[in-house]
Chain A
Amino acid sequence: MLKREVAKRVFAKEFEACRELEKSERPAYETADSKTPNFLISPLGLILNRVFIAGVLTELDSIGIQNDMWKARIADPTGAFTVYAGQFQPDASIFFSTVQVPAFIALTGKARVYEPEPGSVFISIRAEEVNVVGEDIRNRWVLDTAEQTIDRLEAFSDALVSRYRGETLREYLLDRGASEELAEGISIAIEREGAPQEFAKQLRISIREWIRTLNLESEDTAKARADQKEFVLELLREMEGGKGIDYAIFVDTAVSRGVPEETVEEVVLSLLAGGQCYEPKIGIIKLVA
């Protein structure tokens, strides 16, 4: 199969806890041969090879004998990913040689396992594609990843409650709407590690804390908009002085004081609709005394 591997959405905490998945552990994987890529499996049963992440580039080092390898750290709400790019990833290497730290970046890459001695495992990403993005894309990635992680957490605790194992568990999960791959991953993960209760709890806490800040931010922006409306009304009172004011002049003044034109229009329209102001002449607005 030459089909492209899906880029999984996963938080750093779950990614770093991944371990190598032996091909022999996948009975359902009939097509496994030497061309099949190496897969990792997370404690929650996510099977992955390629990942797509969006986060903050916080550290960047040039390493290797001839400084021909870049090592980067990309932070997300739960921790940080370690990313490498070397001579065989020329596009990513060029990118890292020009980017400023810190920056919001989006990155696609493949998971790598390094186990210098038994018991110490390092999981990293080898970069494929990388780009600078806006904060909005990072925030959205967090929400996407949170949704897919919670889907997994829910399926996993569902699996534990069911007390099924192996083939029965797989069929139970499929029946409950899990994908083929997740059903397989969860049954392997349970076989391997049992119930990573503490891990799941910590993951939930980090996701929740971060998402709350996003919630506050959106409340903040709502509040900021309300303040702006208040300001527009004040400004209108001041400029109109009971005699009316040319609409175009008013808009220009408001915009020059940092209020977006849409907000000005919105406020004036709502005042007109609410009968709090009117147009004595076309293009002139006047507040009702």
Chain B
Amino acid sequence: MDEKIAPHLEELTRALGDLEKTGIRAEFDKLLAFRVSPEVAKETILRRYGGKRKIIKVKDLSVSLKNFEITGRILDIGEKELRPQEGVKEGPSKLYTGVLADETGPVMFSSWKELPGSVGDVINIKNAYTRLWQNRIRLSIGEQSLVSKIYDSSLPQLSELSKTPAKKLIDIGAADYSISTTACVVQLSHREVPVRGKQSKVISGVLADETARLPFTAWIKLPGIDIGSIIRIERAQVHMFRGMPSINLVSSTKVSSVSSEEAENLAFTFESAAKDPAPLKIEEIASRDSMFDVITSGNVISVRPGSGIISRCSECSRVIQKANCRVHGKVEGVRDMRIKAVLDDGTESMSVMFPRELAETIYGKTLEEAEQLMFSDISKDAVYEDLRRFLTGRYLAVRGNSSYGEYGVSFVAESAWVPEDDIAVRVVELLRRLGPDEEDQGSEFSGGGINLA
């Protein structure tokens, strides 16, 4: 028997490393115990753990990637005790989380097992997978992953990797963990938020450079900094909120004012940064994971079901059907109005959500007026049908935030209006691009001929 399985074990060891330590041997034996032939057992295991495993760099990580190999240096690691869930006796009780980086960037990871290394060490992970956690990609190391420490790695040193890259605002995304940037404060306000039961003062606002705008939150004091200040930020943390990156200024962040001489060399000024953003094509919006405070326009090519008058749970504001909240059970519904529409400009399409205030503006009816329509009509979809008749085909311009997901671009409108159109200017430009008539061209040429003769 052993002779029969020995070559297979040898092959598995070559492909996957130490079988005993990783529990693969036990799995192999289990399959044999079910009288699976060694040949098939080997293939099963290779398919599961190895086979054509891809080696991936951090920058190429995407959501729901499985069974790949990655090597990186640990920049940060910590452990969390997990409260045992009721009814679940066994299972891991500790979660290790941190940041891993290679020369292409850093990524947050979480591991269900203890890693053979600490800050500064390079580890290799086989059979890793990714998940979306708190709106960003997280590298997951599970029970099935094989982790080993690499001693002679050519990866850049810790000091090199933990340098925060200087980025323009448009380049900051879900893959970033810590960044440096220079930008102008275009909005700023102070507010109090409860943090672990205590009221804390935070400053929130909007930063802008020549490429984009992003929201920021400061957990530290910002003396001398106000709207109009151009600041240099070093080692700020990037958080994801509803698919949107937000810059967090924390105790380890260094914030300094940019002198007016230095500011002259920048590609933006307060005036240019504070101006309304230039309109984009939907195609440009779709090419980014998320965009903050942008303007675009297109035709409403479809008003989606779920638009019109809806009921929300009075406890949690979830949309409810037949006065039944899926969390709070039977509740008194609170009426609300919203519009979900597909906006398309021929380059891309996106799904736009108009909350009540905007829905009332673009529809030209208040919630109360819409309710009257609903009660006066026998069809329960009266408002939806009316919205479709009113909006389908129309031009709309919107300003708000976009995020890219499984179904394409979702856009939450902050404001909306009917875009103005200068037909005369466009016509002149189009006629220029179309060139002169063929006939005109012909006569020009023959005229030239006569002159020459």
Contacts and interface: CB of A to CB of B under 8 A. Distances in A.
A212 B346 contact: no
B394 A137 contact: yes
Nearest to B439: A205
A54 B393 CA distance: 8
A137 B395 contact: yes
Nearest to A147: B430
A143 B427 contact: yes
Given A205-B437, A205-B438, A211-B434, 4 more contacts: A7-B344, A108-B301, A140-B421, A144-B346
Given A133-B394, A179-B283, A212 B431 contact: yes
A73 B388 CA distance: 22
A218 B434 CA distance: 19
B406 interface: yes
Contacts of B21: none
Given A204-B434, A207-B434, A208-B434, A139 B346 contact: no
Q: In which size bucket is the chain B interface? A: 20 to 34
A130 B301 CA distance: 9
22 contacts: A2-B406, A4-B342, A6-B347, A7-B299, A52-B301, A106-B299, A107-B393, A108-B344, A128-B302, A129-B302, A137-B299, A140-B421, A140-B423, A143-B421, A143-B430, A148-B346, A154-B433, A201-B438, A204-B434, A207-B434, A211-B431, A215-B427
Interface of A: 2-9, 52, 54, 91, 105-108, 128-131, 133, 136-137, 139-141, 143-148, 150, 154, 179, 201, 204-205, 207-208, 211-212, 214-215, 218
A218 B395 CA distance: 20
8 closest residue pairs by CB, A with B: A106-B393, A131-B392, A9-B346, A3-B408, A108-B301, A133-B393, A215-B427, A131-B393
Contacts, number: 102
A137 B393 contact: yes
B427 A131 contact: no
Given A2-B406, A204-B434, A211 B346 contact: no
Contacts of A136: 421
Q: Most chain-B CB neighbours within 10 Å: which of A7, A107, A148, A214?
A: A7
Interface of B: 283, 299, 301-302, 342, 344-349, 351, 388-389, 392-395, 406-408, 421, 423-424, 426-428, 430-431, 433-435, 437-438
A53 B375 CA distance: 35
Contacts of B421: 136, 140, 143
A211 B427 contact: yes
A228 B47 CA distance: 82
A7 B394 contact: no
A203 to B, nearest CB: 10
Contact of A7 (B346, B388, B407): B346
B236 to A, nearest CB: 33
Contact of A143 (B349, B351, B426): B426
A4 B345 CA distance: 13
Nearest to A217: B423
A146 B430 contact: yes
Q: Most chain-A CB neighbours within 10 Å: which of B344, B347, B421?
A: B344
A31 to B, nearest CB: 14
